[in-house]
Amino acid sequence: MKTGSSLEFSRNAARAQADADLQAALEKLQRDTRTSRPAVTGRLPEFEDLRDRAVAIKNHTLAHLDHYLEQFEANVIDAGGKVHWCSDADGARETILQICRDADARTVGKGKSMVSEEIHLNDHLIENGLDVVETDLGEYILQLREETPSHVVMPAIHLKKEQIADTFREHHTTLDPDRPLDEPKHMTAEARTRLREKFLAADVGITGANMLIAETGSVVVVTNEGNGDLTQTLPRIHIVLATIEKAVPSIEDALSIVRILARSATGQEITCYTTFATGARRAGDLDGPEEFHVVLMDNGRTKLLESGFRDVLRCIRCGACQSACPVYGAVGGHAYGGVYGGPIGAVLTPALDGIDKAWTLPEASSFCGSCEAVCPMRIPLPDLMRRWREIAHREKLNKAATRRGLAIWAWAAKRPKLYRAGARFAVAALRLLGRRKGRFQSLPLAGGWTAMRDLPAPEGGTFVDRWHRERGA
Amino acid sequence: MSDRSDILARVRGATGRTENSGPPPAPAYANHPLIPERARGTPADLAARFIDMATEAGATVDRVGSLAETGIAVARWLRNNDLPDDIVVAPDTSLDAAGWNEAAGLSVRRGAASDGDKVTVNSSVAGIAETGTVMVAGTPGTPYTLNFLPDTHIVVVHADDIVGGYEDAWAKLRPGLETGRDLPRTVTLITGPSRSSDIERIVTVGVHGPLRLHILLVGQANGEE
Amino acid sequence: MTETPRVGLFATCLVDLYRPTVGFAAAHLLEKAGCRVDVPAAQVCCGQPAYNAGDRDNAAAIARQTIELFETFDYVVAPSGSCAGMLKLHYPDLLADDPAYAARARALAGRTWELIAFLTDILDWDGVDADWPGDVTYHDACSGLRELGVRDQPRRLLARVSGLKVNELGAPDVCCGFGGTFCIKYPEVSGAMVDRKTDDICDTGASTLLAGDLGCLMNIAGRLTRRGEKIEVRHVAEVLAGIADGPAIGQPDN
């Protein structure tokens, strides 16, 4: 499915709502999440305390981030690795390309990395002659379909198995076209074989990092598939691409966060594989990469650190907010037009792409608060969306008609006597017009409302007037 | 000005720290790890919980009284499950006395795994009761690829090495740990076989790691009947 | 509490303009619970429309007005989780940097309550004396639920209404799609959300939907009638106060 830009959110949303397959997938996601999350968190009485602990850990780390980044770097170097600092996407892309060139690499295996999506890494490497293969099953499917992830943790959640089967038939042309592909297990067995070849052929393995542990220079990568492990272990070179806010001080801190990550992301107690990788292969090791590189990128994080949006840097990319959001649940991730959709997307995309390119996203929320309720890092997502709305309002990015309507309303609201008089009039008029049916199916200026629902008619008289008439006080 | 100094300068500017700020004071929660109740219990409790949780996560668990019985137990389990009897066993000396010679029919190679190896046997650092997790480390004696390349991954866990929580398992690696260099290149927490639910959220196993995780639990924990 | 608590009733703009019955129901319940109720005439709105639109200046101006009008009461009570939440949680934030109003905002916040929670949690009152023969279902309005923790309290009071049975929604806590101006800015997305809520409501078999926020209620009522459903919609206060014999929301007079 082609994704329109963030500014085209309404149009993207309309397309998403007309897509019956997508709607079925989203409904399933929401249904599953409603049961799986309470089931797994209910089994861990310490879950809420762990959320608080995780918040404290991240806040402490961010407040002293320079120290922890330097400590991390020193330990990576000590363990035989290299750290490359990159301020922006260009720098990161070029740095990674150069590492690949220096290693005479031809094939690159990739573990799942949302940051690599941010910087469009694959395209850059491919344009420069490298063969890049996504190894996460969902990402691999999307790569074949030339689509982008629609969920931070379940990238292909928007697809039906029939669509995936079609994709496999289209691309895995050396196999018997009549082979059965009706069940997920057929497809995963096929992906296993295809991608095993790629794992073995890869010269370079690129992964993201869930966490960067300062005290040891370790990089934490969690997967259910084990593709992160095969990606980092089989090739000669392991490159970790991570943004600076992934740092945590210690192993124990990392473990606290591990306890809430999978529970929030997929409803599992823990992912199948939680790997702490430190440096390149040691003397005597029979396997493992010869070189270990960490590309430590800023790409807008320091700006977030400086700003009133710092809380969003606590995000551990669990996707719980997306799974819980009723708006995401109605339109899916692609409608948001950026790398990240849903509530986290509504806060991050304006930061990464500029508010002028993404002001629609923080607008597209009913502020129901479900995101904040499930966020393991207690990020006040609705507040941050509102903060973006303030900026958009100041920069006059939202619709002029809306601003005008609001200005008129506010002007009256600040003048209670005038407001009362106007209210009396409006209520009386609407009451008169709507008295017979009790509601309006259409009303001038109320198109936004009446497009989807009737507008109830007022009872008649304002409460304040009637109260004072009756009580005389 | 390099990217490194740019980034650090911006970070410091944002947080009000300078190059001379020094290490941060220990946060209030330091030295107070939040260990869940389910990571606590008697050794017998923890052994039972480890088995329960590992099984729930999709692993299978078999028990033997002593290390010497491991080979036969492995052979029997492979036979009962129609699995190949060509196995690769970690070079780790702790597995030398596992009774491989006594296991008739087993063809054993000691070393790292290659693609094409169907069954591997590895030793472990610990079994962690809180989620039925096995901690393995990538070392010369326990090559990392043993955990990921085969279809069937067998891990030997000593009942004495069952601990309550993740921190307890890490404590086994702590002695002598001064910098990251002292750690094995990889330390992995493995819970159940490889799985994915990327296709319509339907769970499938064996993408891309092992389809089966079989735990051989050796010995008895203190206090077990 | 030996003295009669003096409550300033914050009617909310929607109740004031659209459904005064809710205001009367709220006053009835508060008086039954032993309060003296006043309705400051100069009240307009809590300022959420401006606040959520990012217009902090106007929101703050309205907040100051509201504080001045209500701060003399022992309590400020609103038949709405979102308006009570605005005063309780957001006014202090909005005026945190205003030396003249910061403390007053915090003080007002400490005395502001959503109606049902006020009755049960502050007054410890459950003297509901009403009957309602029939099945109802209950929607948990988002602000009341997540900002103010209002969930059990309305159900506790509904349990005291004789004859009434609550058939719980499959997903009572999922947003109905109102969200203030959200439903007007993104009508189709909001429509999808209210459709899911409506399906859920119809599945309960209840003949009436209740909730504690008029915005949600109008949104849901509008969708129900547009879909030709016969389920009636009322504010929970109407049923608890026993003054629910008038037309339901969006229904004509008989």
The partner residue sitting opposite C53, judged by closest CB among A326, A393, A462, is A393
Q: Residue A455: helix, strand or coil by DSSP?
A: strand
Inform me whether the C-beta atom of residue B147 falls under 8 Å from chain A C-beta atoms. yes
Judged on CB neighbours under 10 Å (0-12, 13-18, 19+), A201 is middle
Q: Which residues of A touch B3 (CB under 8 A)?
A: 85-87, 91, 298
**Using a CB-CB distance cutoff of 8 angstroms, which residues of chain B are in contact with residue A273?**
188-191, 194, 209
Q: Superfamily assignment of A46-302 in CATH?
A: NagB/RpiA/CoA transferase-like (3.40.50.10420)
**B115 CB near a chain A CB, below 8 Å?**
yes
Report chain C residues whose CB lies below 8 A from the CB of A327. Answer: 186, 189, 193
The minimal CB distance from B37 to the residues A46, A288, A310 is found for A46
CATH 3.40.50.10420 residue window(s) in chain A: 46-302
Distance from C-alpha of A137 to C-alpha of A146, rounded to nearest angstrom? 14
Q: Among partner residues B15, B29, B147, which is closest to A65 by beta-carbon distance? A: B15
Kindly determine whether residue C51 and residue A386, on different chains, have CB atoms separated by under 8 Å.
yes
Fill in the amino acid letter for A291.
E
Average pLDDT, chain B: 95
Do C and B make contact, counting contact as 3+ CB pairs within 8 angstroms? no
CA A284, chain centre distance (Å): 40
pLDDT given at position A441: 87
Is B192 at the interface with chain A, CB within 8 A?
A: yes
Map chain C to HEC letters. CCCCCEEEECCCHHHHHHCHHHHHHHHHHHHHCCCEEECCCCCCCCCHHHHHCCCHHHHHHHHHHHHHHHCCCCEEEECCHHHHHHHHHHHHHHCCCCCCCHHHHHHHHHCEEEHHHHHHHHCCCCCCCCEEEEEEEECCCHHHHHHCCCCHHHHHHHCCCEEEEECCCCCCCCCCCCCCCHHHHCHHHHHHHHHHHHHHHHHHCCCEEEECCHHHHHHHHHHHHHCCCCCEEEEHHHHHHCCCCCCCCCCCCC
Q: Is the pLDDT of residue A473 over 60?
A: no
Cβ <8 Å between B3 and A25: no
Question: Which two three-digit tokens encode residue C5?
Answer: 């608590």
**Best of C145, C185, C220 to disrupt the A interface by mutation (most A CBs within 10 Å)?**
C185
**Which chain A residues are within 8 Å of C49, Cβ to Cβ?**
406, 409-410
Residue C81's pLDDT is 97
Asked if A287 and B145 come within 8 Å (Cβ–Cβ), the reply is: yes
Strand order across the beta sheet in which B119-123 lies: B60-64, B212-218, B152-158, B119-123, B86-89, B107-110
Which chain C residues are within 8 Å of A416, Cβ to Cβ? Answer: 41-44, 65
pTM for the full predicted model: 0.96
Three-state SS at A413: helix
Question: What's the distance, Cα to Cα, between the start and end of chain B in Å?
Answer: 67
Q: Measured between CA atoms, how close is A145 to chain B, in angstroms?
A: 14
Residue range A302-360, pLDDT digits in tens: 999 999 999 999 999 999 999 999 999 999 999 999 999 999 999 999 999 999 999 99
Q: In this complex, do A17 and C186 lie within 8 Å of one another by their Cβ atoms?
A: no
> A87, A188, A211, A294: best mutation site toward chain B, by most B Cβ within 10 Å?
A188
Phi-psi region of A251 (alpha: psi -120 to 50; beta: other; left: phi over 0): alpha
A81 SS3 class: coil
The nearest alpha carbon in chain C to A392 belongs to: C54
A28 and B208 within 8 Å at the Cβ level: the answer is no
C-beta atoms of C142 and A366 within 8 A: yes
Give all chains having 3 or more CB-to-CB distances under 8 Å with chain B: A
CA distance C59 to chain A (A): 8
- Subunits in contact with chain A (3 or more CB pairs closer than 8 Å): B, C
* Interface contact flag, A225 B194, Cβ < 8 Å: yes
> Does residue A2 register a pLDDT over 60?
no
pLDDT band of A3, cuts 50, 70, 90:
low
User: Given 3.30.450.40, 3.40.50.850, 3.40.50.11810, 3.90.79.10, which CATH number is that of C129-241?
Assistant: 3.40.50.11810
Do chains A and C touch, with touching meaning 3 or more CB–CB pairs less than 8 Å apart?
yes
DSSP type of residue A131: E
pLDDT digits (tens, 9 = 90+) for A241-252: 999 999 999 999
Interface touch A195/B208, C-beta < 8 Å: yes
Q: Which residues touch A354 (CB under 8 Å, ≥6 apart)?
A: none
Size of interface A-B (CB pairs under 8 A): 270
* Helices within A278-354 (DSSP H only): 301-306, 320-324, 326-331, 342-353
| Class for the domain spanning B39-218 | alpha beta
8 Å CB contact of B201 and A244: no
- Rounded to whole angstroms, the Cα distance separating A179 from A15 reads 33
The CA-CA-CA angle for residues A367, A371, A375, to 5°, reads 145
Residue A472, pLDDT score:
74
Give the burial string for A375-394 (b: 16+ CB within 10 Å, else e). bbbbbbbbbbbbbbbbbbbe
On chain A, the residues whose CB falls within 8 A of the CB of B188 are 229, 273-276
CA distance B194 to chain A (A): 5
Domain ranges of chain C: 6-121, 129-241
pLDDT, averaged per 10 consecutive residues of chain C (254 residues), comes to 88 96 98 97 95 96 98 98 98 97 98 98 96 96 97 98 97 96 93 97 97 97 96 98 94 84
Per cent of chain B over pLDDT 90 is 88
Neighbours of chain C (3+ CB pairs under 8 A): A
pLDDT at res. C13: 94
Give the distance from CA C143 to its chain's centroid.
9
Interchain CB contact of A145 with B (< 8 Å): no
Nearest CA in chain C to A452: C191
Q: Which of B38, B181, B185 is closest, CB to CB, to A288? A: B185
Cβ contact A326–C58 (<8 Å): no
Band (B84; pLDDT cuts 50, 70, 90): very high
Within 8 A of C19 by CB-CB distance, chain A residues are: 458-459, 463
Record the tokens describing residue C153, joined without a space: 């309290």
Contacts of B177 in chain A (CB under 8 A): 216
Q: What is the pLDDT of residues A121-168, one digit of tens each?
A: 999 999 999 999 999 999 999 999 999 999 999 999 999 999 999 999
Q: What value does the CA radius of gyration of chain A take, rounded to a whole number of Å?
A: 26
Which residue of chain A comes nearest to B138, CA vs CA?
Answer: A285
Q: How far apart, in whole angstroms, are the C-alpha atoms of residue A305 and residue A326?
A: 29
Band of residue A436 on the pLDDT scale cut at 50, 70, 90: confident
Taking the C-alpha atoms of residue A370 and residue C100, their distance in angstroms, rounded to an integer, is 34
- Give the pLDDT score at C253: 85
Please indicate whether, in this complex, the C-beta atoms of A234 and B188 are within 8 angstroms of each other: no
* Least CB–CB distance from A277: residue in B24, B140, B185: B185
| pLDDT the model gives residue C154 | 98
Task: Tell me the mean pLDDT in the region B168-178.
Answer: 90
Best mutation target, A409, A464, A469, to test chain C (most C CBs within 10 A): A464
- The verdict on a CB contact (< 8 Å) between C222 and A453 is yes
ipTM, two decimals, is 0.97
Q: Which of residues 48-87 of B touch A (CB under 8 A)?
A: 53, 57
Q: Are B11 and A65 an interchain contact pair (Cβ–Cβ within 8 Å)?
A: yes
